[in-house]
Each structure stands twice: as structure tokens, then as C-alpha cells.
């Protein structure tokens, strides 16, 4: 399983800002993303467990979609890559503040100095570019 066991508490303040940017990139604003009925087949997928924080934070799955970027929170106990079939993928653990810098285009990847990621760097680069172009 990806991530850590969560204890109820305040959510990291960066989470809402990251999700707002992802929502705009995906074209659905502040509404929650729709969960697809079938597993999408995509080119690039990236999972980010935003666990490098003392506050609560989700695991996100970000991938390319019909209109650019799609994303969703990964339910507890679910492996992110079980939710998508991707040609290239990457994933790792990050501080939500570092993820925010990445979605804003101020960092090359979401891992920052305290996180760690692995997989295909092209997936991270392409999804970051798609987020910032929207």
C-alpha cells in the first residue's frame, strides 16, 4: 500500500491550493473530479503520496486525459496504479508544499528536498507542462 496510516487531523494548507490548480487544469474548477467508470488507458500517469507533512494530506493520481489533465484522490487502501493503465508512469512521496511549487511551475518535480520519487521522469515533465499550460 502507498502512503501511511492517517490519523484524523487538520489538512495541510497546501492541499486545497494544489487541488484548485489541478481542478482548473482538468477543466472542472472547484468541483470534485468524476471517478471514471472504466480504468482509463493513458500515456502518462503520476501518483503522489503527499505524506511528507505533519498534517493530513491525500495521495493524488494525475494523468493525461481527453482534455489535458485528469486527477483524483486515491482512496485509502487502493494502489494508485490500479486505477489507470499508463504507458509511462512515476510516483513517490512528497511534501504538499513541494507539490504546490511543482504545479505552479516553480520546481522541476514534486519531490523537493524531503521527498522521493521514481519512475519515468518524462511522465512528471509532461504532466507538469500540461498542468501549467491550462
Q: Report the percent of the chain where pLDDT is more than 90.
A: 74
Please state which architecture CATH assigns to domain 13-133: 2-Layer Sandwich (3.30)
For the segment 58-91, what is each residue's pLDDT rounded down to a tens digit?
999 999 977 789 999 999 999 999 999 999 999 9
Least reliable range by pLDDT among 6-10, 23-27, 55-59, 84-88: 6-10
- Starting at the edge strand found earlier in the chain, the sheet holding 59-65 runs 68-73, 59-65, 41-49, 85-93, 116-119
Distance CA 116, CA 27 (A): 29
Domain ranges within the chain, ordered by starting residue: 13-133
Distance CA 35, CA 5 (A): 23
pLDDT band at residue 32 using 50, 70 and 90 as cut-offs: low
CB 130 within 8 A of CB 41: no
Amino acid at each position: 500500500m502507498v502512503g501511511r496510516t492517517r490519523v484524523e487531523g487538520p489538512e495541510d494548507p497546501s492541499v486545497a491550493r494544489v487541488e484548485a490548480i489541478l481542478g482548473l487544469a482538468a477543466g472542472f474548477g472547484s468541483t470534485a473530479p468524476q471517478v471514471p467508470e472504466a480504468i482509463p488507458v493513458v500515456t502518462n500517469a503520476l501518483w503522489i503520496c503527499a505524506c511528507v507533512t505533519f498534517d493530513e494530506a491525500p495521495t493524488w493520481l494525475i494523468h493525461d486525459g481527453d482534455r489535458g489533465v485528469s486527477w483524483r484522490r486515491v482512496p485509502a487502501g487502493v494502489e494508485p496504479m490500479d486505477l489507470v493503465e499508463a504507458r509511462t508512469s512515476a510516483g513517490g512521496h512528497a511534501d504538499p508544499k513541494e507539490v504546490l511549487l511543482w504545479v505552479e511551475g516553480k520546481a522541476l518535480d514534486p519531490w523537493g528536498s524531503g521527498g522521493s520519487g521514481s519512475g519515468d521522469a518524462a511522465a512528471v515533465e509532461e504532466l507538469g507542462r500540461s498542468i501549467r499550460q491550462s
